[in-house]
Amino acid sequence: MLSWLIKRLLMLVPVFLAVSVVIFSILHFIPGDPIDNLLKIGSSPEARAEMEARYGLDRPLPVQYGIWLSNVLQGDLGTAIVARRPVADLIAQALPHSLRLGGLALLFSTVVGVTLGVVAALSRDRWPDRAIMGGVLVGSTMPSFWLGLILILIFSVSLGWFPVSGARGWQSLVLPVLTIGLGGTALVARITRVSMIEASGRDFVTLLHAKGLSPLRIQLRHVLRHALIPVVTILALRIGWILGGAVTVEVVFARPGLGTLLIKSLAQHDYPVVQACLLMLAMAVMLGTLMGDILQALMDPRVRAAMT
Amino acid sequence: MIAPLRAFRHPQGGLAGCWLILVIAAALAAPLLTPYAYDVQNLPQAYQPASAQHWLGTDEFGRDLLTRLIYGARTSLSVSATAISISVLCGMVLGAAAAWFGGWLDRTVTMVVDLSWSFPEILIALILVAIIGPGTTGVMIAIAVAYIAQFTRLTRAQIMTLKGETFIEAARSLGAGNAHILFRHLLPNALAPVLVSAMLATGDAIILEATLGFFGLGAQPPVPSWGGMMSAGSALVFKAPWVIIFPGLAVAVTVVAINLYGDALITELDIRSRLRSGA
Amino acid sequence: MTQLFRKTLLSASVSLAALIAAQAATAQEAVFVMATNEVGAPTYNPIKATMLNTATGLLFDRLVSQAADLSYHPWLAESWEEAPDGMAWTFKLKQGVTFHNGEPFNAETVKAWIELFKTTEGENGYMAEAIASAEVVDEYTVKFVMSRPEPNLLYNLSSTFMGVVEPKSFAALGDNYGVTEVYGTGPFKLESFAIGQETVLVRNEGYTWGPEVAANHGPAKVERLTFREIPEDSTAFLELKTGGVDFLLSVPADLMGEVQKEANLAVLTMPGQDVWYMPINVTKAPFDDIRVREAAAKAINQEEILASVFGGVGAVADTFLISALPESHVPDGAKIHYDPARSNALLDEAGWAMGEGGVRMKDGQPLKVTLWTQSDSIFRRLTEVVQAQLKAVGIEAEITTFDSSTIRDQYKTGEQQLAVRSYNWDNADIVDWFFGGDRLGYPNVSMFNDPKAEELRAAAMTGARNMDERIANFTAYHEYVLTQFPMAPIYQPVQAMAYNTDRIALPEKIDAPAFGAAAFLDLQVKE
């Protein structure tokens, strides 16, 4: 198990390097220059060169990349050019909000999605199945900013239950979590339902039935366990979505977070911040994939056997 | 009878198909359907709720909302469909090449695709629009790139399965070349699942286009798009809620219809398992 | 027995005190929403920042304060005197003033602070440019030796950019000054600052040196102020409506009606300091022809925009300056008004004949131009109306929307033809800022560089010996710029704010040109 894990971790190294190259280089294609934001209007070319030198933007790109990477590996994310403070501070400010929102949305879509998926699978092709699958389909097709605004109008303005915007207290999390969670619920419910139905057709289920176990017990104890494997895999892969895909919802609810930070810095050409945000997301994605693999391994006896 | 028509026999598929035909026909025939122009302002008529003259009311410039919704369908559908077509073409070439030639090409393509597949499409699209610039073309390219990974994966998986089939072996033993096998045998057989999933992805692309429009990056005014209309409407939620509600419903209903029709099509073509093997 | 009684009494009084304290704490807090055009200010450093928000004015006091009638009054300076030739100013400073970090405020600190403008890189050096040096006369008297007469000095000294910073911590903190820590003499201290999100200020308990224009010269009545930054006006309004916040520092005109519909909300208006306008790039064809510029400028129907986009609130703009400024009083002939007949005649004269589909043509080319705007919803709405008005005289304008923070970079390319933008300033030197020949691209979006204008500009900026001369010179400069049509004036709003009347009690009179320190000192929170 340990050697498998180490091998798996080592495999992430080239991926990480490739990602860092892409993230670093892509930004230099964006038109506009952060130095323009800093320079005094009507500055001389010398002043410009001096400023570029200060931020290391005058070196050749590969050198800039090398410096950046070695700093990142030492935990130094650099200084924001426009916001004029350590990038780490900005990330530290945004990340907890993203984690809270993303984590709760993930939890919501898992619990609700699995429940709905199980109910749908148990009542396959009858009305509860149709109603649930129709409902989650509709839920997943509404643009999240639109859904968010509608929820604000209903629950904040008309009913006054939750705050309109911001990030103060648990109340302010309810509507954003709901907005993101509804989209994810559809996916989880769909996968749970299909894999439940598939697993019910397996040989071991027939055997359990022959043994005389109650059908509901078989479904919930044995079939669900198998059915959850693909669900877990997909959820782990969605961690990137959870952190970065919340950007629209963060904008609608005027919430701080990684997504908003990324978009704002992108607009301001604040390279160090954008690079750090993308790197955070990429690392979350890689860790998510790894976690998915591990969980899958732990849950699936066949994979577990292959590992040892 | 061919499968796209057979899909209409399913009650849901039929209803959904009819809606899609209606939306596409309305978008194509827009100038014939409405007496109003989408861009002519009539400021004294601004913020009118639904009435006999304006079935869905008017927007902040006194323009007929239904007219803009129909013209908006033109923008939103054509941008999404074109983007996905580009995506499918690139994805099929990449995926087929990776699967057929294998080796380092396969490994590189798979790694890049897996990575970009794990990133939220909205972020990929936002970054690309920042590079290309706002407007219809920029958004189209951004959406196309955001979905390439999905089709590359799917095509690759299809070709990998087909590669081992007997009829390919037979063709090869008859002396057929790489290109011949790839274009005459493999790709046509992989086409059905890719096209159906392209159709489903068009639904996602409509939402993505709307989201980019919400950030003000899509079609530039006065050309309407569903996302752009909602973006303007978000500032008017309490004054003229219909300006945002109707385009949102249009998006939701159309995407639901695409999904239902696609689902019926999958059943008819009997390709459910093949679709999953690639996802 | 008595023991027990005393204990009970004691505990009762303690819990009562706690109760009162708790109530007072909730009552003494207020949540403000920053004006939308101030969202995202990255620092509270007045010497370096190009953009400062309302909270900055509460952290830093200034030497002089300005009243609603734009006259100047004592604040940290008790009195002042200008030498007859304008080459020196002497300020008597208030005694007993201390900075938030305990450092004393005196002539030495003023001298050190003025020097910061010379030694710190940034845009704001021009504020103290005319001051050659600051000399300490005695502990509480400071003399500014001028390099030239500067009739505008008191205006500069009353501006937030000349909020007095504590020089020692400024030097020690470097780039962190204004970000993590900030020390001024103002009625509030910085507690926390999350960029783009929220700033929390707490009352400076020892404050006794309020500006003369405020009724209250002591500590502020509110203990704690939270300033939230919400980019969308409609979200901010919904927060106010649902009780999530108490005060909006900006309300766009189209939402004022919605505010007035609510029983517990009220609108507060003060004279505006904004002008909305359409810069015209004089270097880009077809606008290198002054006739086409004038035609475009006179195609703008300011009355229609005022009525339809801004709900009739505010006033039309017909010059580049807010009408409260004397320099805005140019001869009627120089003012720019809607005149479609003149527009059409000029375009005909310039060879642009009306063609198919209502777009003018010349030599087979359609009259097609670009129109840039920023992505905020009010800008997009106004720009679409402008687009339709230009179309009415046969000019087809293609809109491109940019993020409000990137549009400056875009202007620097000089590729723009027309744009819709606004500025916020209440001094005539803004003409110099936006039309000075050495700032092409941005801020000189119009790329206007005209030898005669440069001559008039030099006279206006540095050639005046007293206020009357300055006004005359700036009026002449402003008038000349208008006749060259590098822009079309559109609209001047009022400063509109909205607040919850159940929570906030405003002072009877706010004797200041803007809602700043004076208003915050007098403002109260209701139980």
ipTM of the complex: 0.85
Q: What is the mean pLDDT of residues A64-87?
A: 85
Residue A36 clears pLDDT 70, i.e. is over it: no
The answer to whether C313 and C496 have CB atoms below 8 angstroms apart is yes
Does residue B36 fall inside a structural domain? no
| Cα dist from C282 to A142, C117, C386, C486, whole Å | 46, 34, 19, 6
Q: If you measure CA to CA, which chain A residue comes closest to C122?
A: A40
Contact map slice: B 62-101 vs A, CB within 8 A: none
Q: What average pLDDT does the structure give for chain C?
A: 90
Give the domain CATH number at B77: 1.10.3720.10
Q: Could you say which residues of chain B have pLDDT below 50?
A: 277-279
Read off the pLDDT band of C356 (50, 70, 90). Answer: confident
Q: What percent of chain C has pLDDT over 70?
A: 94
Q: Which of A177-186, B18-27, C298-307, C427-436 has the lowest mean pLDDT?
A: A177-186
CB distance from A166 to chain B under 8 Å? no
C-alpha R_g of chain C: 26
Q: Which residues of C touch A82 (CB under 8 A)?
A: 42
What's the pLDDT score for residue C206? 93
| Cβ separation C388–B61 shorter than 8 A | yes
What's the pLDDT score for residue A33? 67
Residue C390 clears pLDDT 80, i.e. is over it: yes
Q: Which chains touch B (3 or more CB pairs under 8 A)?
A: A, C
pTM, entire model: 0.85
What's the pLDDT score for residue B276? 61
The answer to whether C464 and C433 have CB atoms below 8 angstroms apart is no
Distance CA B247, CA B256 (A): 14
Does residue B39 fall inside a structural domain? no
Distance CA C266, CA A259 (A): 35
Q: What is the mean pLDDT of residues C485-492?
A: 97
C240 against A25, higher pLDDT: C240
Q: What is the mean pLDDT of residues C405-414?
A: 81
The answer to whether C403 and C374 have CB atoms below 8 angstroms apart is yes
What's the pLDDT score for residue C19? 41
The answer to whether C392 and C299 have CB atoms below 8 angstroms apart is yes
Residue C22 clears pLDDT 60, i.e. is over it: no
- Strands C368-374 and C396-402, by their bridges, are parallel
What's the pLDDT score for residue B68? 94
CB distance from B230 to chain A under 8 Å? yes
Tokens representing residue B162 in the block: 């087909």
| Cβ separation B237–C234 shorter than 8 A | yes
What's the pLDDT score for residue C13? 45
| Cβ separation C234–B215 shorter than 8 A | no
Chain A, chain C: beta-carbon pairs less than 8 Å apart: 80
Closest approach of A192 to chain C, Cα-based (Å): 37
What's the pLDDT score for residue C498? 96
CB distance from C360 to chain A under 8 Å? no
What's the pLDDT score for residue A41? 60
| Cα dist from C23 to A27, C18, C203, C505, whole Å | 52, 9, 17, 17
3-state secondary structure chain A: CHHHHHHHHHHHHHHHHHHHHHHHHHHHHCCCCHHHHHCCCCCCHHHHHHHHHHCCCCCCHHHHHHHHHHHHHCCCCCECCCCCCEHHHHHHHHHHHHHHHHHHHHHHHHHHHHHHHHHHHHCCCCHHHHHHHHHHHHHHHCCHHHHHHHHHHHHHHHCCCCCCCCCCCCHHHHHHHHHHHHHHHHHHHHHHHHHHHHHHCCHHHHHHHHCCCCHHHHHHHHHHHHHHHHHHHHHHHCHHHHHHCCHHHHHHCCCCCHHHHHHHHHHCCCHHHHHHHHHHHHHHHHHHHHHHHHHHHHHCHHHHHHHC
Does residue B34 fall inside a structural domain? no
The answer to whether C259 and C237 have CB atoms below 8 angstroms apart is yes
Distance CA A99, CA A103 (A): 5
Residue C21 clears pLDDT 70, i.e. is over it: no
Q: What percent of chain A has pLDDT over 90?
A: 9
Largest CA distance in chain B: 76
Q: Which chains touch C (3 or more CB pairs under 8 A)?
A: A, B
The number of beta carbons lying within 10 Å of the beta carbon of residue B179 is: 9
| Cβ separation C241–A165 shorter than 8 A | no
A201-210, A223-232, B212-221, C94-103: which is most confident: C94-103
Distance CA B126, CA B134 (A): 10
Q: Which residues of A touch B251 (CB under 8 A)?
A: 141-143, 146
What's the pLDDT score for residue A139? 84
- B110-162 confidence digits (pLDDT tens): 888 877 777 788 888 888 888 887 788 999 999 999 999 889 988 988 888 88
Does residue B68 fall inside a structural domain? yes
C7 against B112, higher pLDDT: B112
Residue C8 clears pLDDT 60, i.e. is over it: no
What's the pLDDT score for residue C405? 67
DSSP state of C394: T
Q: Which residues of B touch C305 (CB under 8 A)?
A: none
- C320-348 confidence digits (pLDDT tens): 999 999 999 999 999 999 999 999 999 99
Residue C15 clears pLDDT 50, i.e. is over it: no
For A123, counting Cβ atoms within 10 Å of its Cβ (0-12 exposed, 13-18 middle, 19+ buried), the class is middle
CB distance from C197 to chain A under 8 Å? yes
What's the pLDDT score for residue C10? 44
Question: Angle CA(C241)–CA(C244)–CA(C245) in degrees, nearest 5?
Answer: 85
Residue C2 clears pLDDT 60, i.e. is over it: no
What's the pLDDT score for residue C427? 92
Omega of the bond prior to C286 within 30 degrees of 0, cis? yes
Domain that residue B128 falls in: 6-26+48-277
- A46-66 confidence digits (pLDDT tens): 777 887 777 777 788 888 888
Residue A24 clears pLDDT 90, i.e. is over it: no
Among the partner-chain residues B44, B134, B221, the one whose CB lies closest to the CB of C380 is B221
Closest approach of A221 to chain B, Cα-based (Å): 25
Among residues A126, A127, A128, A103, the alpha carbon closest in space to that of A115 is found at A128
- C206-254 confidence digits (pLDDT tens): 999 999 999 999 999 999 999 999 988 888 999 999 999 999 999 988 7
What's the pLDDT score for residue C160? 93
Does residue B38 fall inside a structural domain? no
Does residue B162 fall inside a structural domain? yes
Q: If you measure CA to CA, which chain C residue comes closest to A265?
A: C405
Does residue B146 fall inside a structural domain? yes
Closest approach of C179 to chain A, Cα-based (Å): 8
Q: Which residues of A touch C403 (CB under 8 A)?
A: 267
Separation of CA B201 from chain center: 5
Does residue B242 fall inside a structural domain? yes
Among the partner-chain residues C377, C388, C399, the one whose CB lies closest to the CB of B235 is C377
Tokens representing residue A98 in the block: 């993203």
Closest approach of B134 to chain C, Cα-based (Å): 7
The number of beta carbons lying within 10 Å of the beta carbon of residue C200 is: 19
Among residues A83, A267, A34, A98, the alpha carbon closest in space to that of C195 is found at A83
| Cβ separation C121–A36 shorter than 8 A | no
Distance CA B76, CA B72 (A): 6
What's the pLDDT score for residue B1? 52
Residue C103 clears pLDDT 60, i.e. is over it: yes
What's the pLDDT score for residue C520? 95
Total structural domains within chain B: 1
Chain C residues contacting B via beta carbons under 8 Å: 232-234, 237-238, 254, 258, 304, 307-308, 375, 377-378, 380-381, 383-385, 387-388, 398-403
